[in-house]
């Protein structure tokens, strides 16, 4: 199979509008679940700074982390992701 020589540059996503929307969705889900940042951090077995940096927009969240966080918050990851895409 021939490899394409054409490349597409990915925009930096940290602090982008989409990244801010993702954070808003996760913070809303955390608050709906009645959890503090410390509660969430304990449930996902990460330091409090992990959640703080994530919610401050200083850290990206990969897909596996997103699914884990959503489930810990009692939310459907597909539903949360759908809100991001819409």
Please state, as a whole number, how many other Cβ atoms lie within 10 Å of the Cβ of residue 73: 23
Q: Are 14 and 45 in contact (CB under 8 A)?
A: no
At 24-36, the pLDDT tens digits run: 999 999 999 999 9
Whether 33 and 74 have beta carbons less than 8 Å apart is answered as yes
pLDDT tens sequence across 24-82: 999 999 999 999 999 999 999 999 999 999 999 999 999 999 999 999 999 999 999 99
pTM: 0.83
* Residue 73 exposure: Cα atoms within 13 Å on the Cβ side: 28
């Amino acid at each position: 199979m021939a490899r394409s020589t054409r490349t597409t540059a990915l925009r930096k996503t940290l602090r982008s509008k989409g990244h801010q929307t993702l954070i808003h969705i996760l913070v809303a889900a955390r608050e709906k679940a009645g959890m503090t940042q410390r509660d969430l951090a304990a449930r996902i077995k990460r330091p409090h700074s992990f959640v703080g940096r994530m919610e401050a927009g200083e850290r990206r969240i990969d897909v596996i982390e997103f699914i884990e966080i959503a489930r810990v918050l009692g939310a459907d990851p597909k539903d949360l992701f759908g809100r991001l895409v819409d």
